């Protein structure tokens, strides 16, 4: 189902008034985690003004350490709903497990499955029964074939609204958190009709690489970007080092819009 051989043309995914897929450049932005209503509303104001189409923010966070901030849970979901109400931007948030699935599905416009859950097959099957579009991140050590098969799990249950997201793979380097595999973009575009976006923030792990990687992703014909932005990154409860300041995000939006226009 994921293959171009099974479908003519490209899949377009409609989220409210936003269309994701060929011919569109969709920018998703927001903090790594929802920390408070004030934090979320403040950042949402900045990213909307800069040109973001969707707002992101984790309520359930898959943290490496159990002692790190785990997210606000349902309170975070309610804040996301408020952001949508205030700004009109649809919201994207991660769904981590079965027990919280219905809750996340209720509050969020797009459900994200993170890199650590890309091969959580029971979660993928549940996502396949969802009425929401699924943003499926590439596993940090997954081949493109494995990633597309994970999308197939979702589609096989009847949900054909899948957005793929390249977010970097694990390599031996120390100059970035992961290594952005931009070659995934042309390969996926060739093999599949599904939209593919790029997350330069989790790929880089540091904000100085986010702008150049974003430009490169759009030049490579990605259908969009997902970028972490924080108004006070030094105080962020997660991923502050890779979060852009609002003025940097503003520059990013202008530059990638120009690149999209000429490509």
Tokens of 213: 């990687």
Tokens of 182: 């931009």
Q: Which does 62 bind (CB under 5 to 8 A by kind): Mn ion, ligand PEP, none?
A: ligand PEP
Give the residue, chosen from 48, 84, 126, 137, that forms a contact with ligand PEP under the rule CB under 6 A.
137
31 contacts ligand PEP (rule: CB under 6 A) = no
| Binding track, positions 19-38, relative to Mn ion; x by CB under 5 A | -------------x------
CA distance linking residue 73 with residue 242, whole number of Å? 23
Ranges of beta strands (E only) in the chain are 13-15, 18-20, 26-30, 54-56, 91-94, 110-113, 134-137, 162-166, 196-198, 224-228
In the bound state with Mn ion, the residue whose beta carbon lies nearer, of 112 and 161, is 112
In the bound state with ligand PEP, the residue whose beta carbon lies nearer, of 160 and 167, is 167
Q: Which residues have CB under 8 Å from 256's CB, separation 6+?
A: 25, 27, 214, 215, 218, 225
Give the residue, chosen from 58, 76, 128, 200, that forms a contact with ligand PEP under the rule CB under 6 A.
58
230 contacts ligand PEP (rule: CB under 6 A) = no
For residues 120 and 163, the answer to whether their CB atoms sit within 8 Å is no
CA distance linking residue 57 with residue 195, whole number of Å? 21
CB of 146 to ligand PEP, least distance (A): 15
| Binding track, positions 92-121, relative to ligand PEP; x by CB under 6 A | --x-------------------xx------
Give the residue, chosen from 239, 249, 252, 256, that forms a contact with Mn ion under the rule CB under 5 A.
239
For residues 32 and 243, the answer to whether their CB atoms sit within 8 Å is yes
Closest residue by Cα to residue 151 from 169, 127, 167? 127
Q: Which does 27 bind (CB under 5 to 8 A by kind): ligand PEP, Mn ion, none?
A: none
Site residues (CB under 5 A) for Mn ion? Answer: 32, 239
Site residues (CB under 6 A) for ligand PEP? Answer: 32, 58, 62, 94, 114-115, 137, 167, 202
């Amino acid at each position: 189902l994921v293959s171009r051989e099974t479908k003519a043309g490209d899949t377009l995914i409609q989220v409210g008034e936003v269309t994701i897929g060929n011919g569109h450049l969709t920018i998703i932005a927001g903090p790594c985690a929802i920390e408070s209503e004030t934090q979320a509303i403040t950042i949402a104001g900045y990213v909307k003004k800069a040109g973001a189409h969707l707002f992101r923010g984790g309520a359930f966070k898959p943290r490496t350490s159990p002692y790190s901030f785990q997210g606000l849970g349902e309170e975070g979901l309610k804040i996301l709903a408020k952001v949508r109400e205030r700004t009109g931007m649809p919201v994207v948030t991660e769904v981590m497990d079965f027990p919280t699935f219905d809750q996340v599905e209720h509050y969020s416009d797009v459900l994200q499955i993170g890199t650590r859950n890309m091969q959580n097959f029971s979660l993928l099957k549940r996502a396949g029964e969802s009425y929401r579009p699924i943003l499926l991140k590439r596993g940090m050590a997954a081949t493109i074939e494995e990633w597309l098969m994970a999308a197939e799990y979702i589609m096989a249950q009847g949900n054909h609204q899948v957005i793929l997201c390249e977010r970097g793979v694990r390599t031996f380097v120390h100059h970035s958190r992961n290594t952005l595999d931009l070659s995934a973009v042309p390969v996926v575009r060739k093999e599949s009709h599904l939209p593919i976006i790029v997350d330069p923030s989790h790929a880089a792990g540091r904000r100085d690489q986010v702008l150049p990687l974003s430009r490169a992703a759009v030049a490579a014909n990605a259908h969009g970007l997902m970028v972490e932005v924080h108004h006070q990154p030094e105080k962020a409860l997660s991923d502050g080092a890779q979060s852009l300041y609002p003025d940097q995000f503003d520059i990013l939006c202008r530059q990638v819009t120009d690149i999209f226009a000429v490509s």
